[in-house]
Amino acid sequence: MSQAETVVIADAPLRWQDVVAVAREGAQLVLSEQAWARIENAQAIVQRIVASGERAYGVSTGLGALCNVSLKGEQLSQLSRNTLLSHACGVGPVLSDEQTRAILCTAIINFSQGRSGVQRPVVEALLALLNRAITPQVPSQGSVGYLTHMAHIGITLLGVGQVSYRGQVVTAAQALAAEGLPPVQLGAKDGLCLVNGTPCMTGLSCLALADATRLLRWADVIGAMSFEAQRGQIAAFDAEIIALKPHPGMQQVASNLRGLLEGSEVIANSQGIRTQDALSIRSIPQVHGAARDQLAHAMRQIEIELNAATDNPLLLGTPDNYRVMSQANPHGQSVALAADLLAIAMAEIGSIAERRLDRLINPHVSDLPAFLVSNPGVNSGMMIVQYVAASLCAENRQLAQPAVLDNYVTSGLQEDHLSLGTNAALKLHRALENCRQILAIEYLLAAQAFEFLKPQGFGQGTDRAWKLLRERVPAYDQDRWLAPDIASAAKILQDPTLLEDVLPKLY
């Protein structure tokens, strides 16, 4: 990971890109003096509550359905430790390092609001995990919104559990010792702070925003290639016509398509060959644009959550004049709905791509060799890659089922409406990966179709995209092992620098 960049938490709102920079690109996370002052003010309120003996949920009481059990003295420190150990009960495959780092980063941003009451040494220890690349091994399953994922991160501070460190999975105790970091001594409310709030779903969603942004731009490029390969009627993208339906995303996609196809001899030579194209060809601005508008909505929702105080209870005021308020800010409905809607949008991007690529290989509608190979019959060509795309589309339809509707009751009826936001974010990640593979297949097929249309000139953007693929994947002259070709195309779509280098005018 590159560590050239630094993200500073101060007074200004943070962006989802800041979380991605820390989680994926290895940027260092730093708290300003004002952020530390906010954290210390809230911790001083906790100490005042403990000293007064006041009943306050999670500060001087048990948790969940045990909220009326009062605790004091050493019991408060023990409660924090026990909270982490008892809540660290997730199951299933572990999250990727970048996913866990995104959750960690988002939790620290939440604590920096100064409404939680967590001790400064706890936040310092979380920062050390991030900035020294000690990444807890966090099971991916078991969250109804929060709790289990953060608990697995929290036990790392105690020297419990396993972590990814220097390319290996080792015990947390080993990694902390190697970095000279002592286990953290927890106090009142620390345990609850460490498992509470919405950092899991919000951090995971920040990564998803980055992937969706990149894939939607690639969808325009690859869709333009398919449009050109099928000799589409460019009038469908006319600026005056598109302006009559002024959805912002639709305007941007149509502009992208016109720019990508500018100068195309294939398009110029094809004007008037049919009255209109199939909907999957002529509705690219409408479908891709709608997905972009959902992405813009998700960005707003997730950034609001990222900069919110999402614990329960929250601490207001100063140690001399404070309020401790039990409420429901850890409920992640806004993020859950945003992630669910974005999963639906990305499933649609994959769905329309599958319809376009199916038309490319079908000689009844493409006017190209069957399955895009010379000597079809002895060669199967690109026949079965369409099956793969269809399978991925089917899986995405399943993943598009909203998680937020799957409500359950937990904690003895105390927590009886749950967002399932972390599940929504995780299935969004899977939908995005499926969409990347579908677009990679369409990219392969559209590029192969270009082989049968040259020497006519292609659009200024589509030609660059075709040549970029050909640097990595040769033309398909006869049947060969296709899985590596799909992997090579998918890798291009994963690299954020290639869009900027090869297609710098794309938005």
The residues carrying an active-site annotation are 57
Residue 497's contacts (CB-CB under 8 Å, 6 or more residues apart) are none
Long-range contacts of 472-478 (CB under 8 A, 24+ apart): 473/444, 473/447, 475/448, 475/451, 476/372, 476/373, 476/381, 476/382, 476/444, 476/448, 476/451, 477/373, 477/374, 478/373, 478/374, 478/375, 478/379
Rounded to whole angstroms, how far apart are CA atoms 94 and 334? 25
Rounded to whole angstroms, how far apart are CA atoms 44 and 187? 12
Rounded to whole angstroms, how far apart are CA atoms 335 and 308? 12
Question: What residue type is assigned to position 130 of the chain?
Answer: L
Please name the helix (run of DSSP H) or strand (run of DSSP E) that holds residue 388, with its range, or none: helix 383-399
Pairing of strands 28-31, 6-9: parallel
Beta carbons of 232 and 281 less than 8 angstroms apart: yes
Rounded to whole angstroms, how far apart are CA atoms 29 and 38? 17
Rounded to whole angstroms, how far apart are CA atoms 499 and 395? 27
What is 234-301 written as a DSSP string?
A: GGGG-HHHHTTS--HHHHHHHHHHHHHHTT-HHHHHTTTSSS---HHHHTHHHHHHHHHHHHHHHHHH
**Closest of 138, 133, 298, 104 to residue 210, by C-alpha:** 298
Residue the block writes with tokens 């938005």: 507
Rounded to whole angstroms, how far apart are CA atoms 18 and 209? 12
User: Would you state the structure tokens that stand for residue 398, as one six-digit string?
Assistant: 């399943």
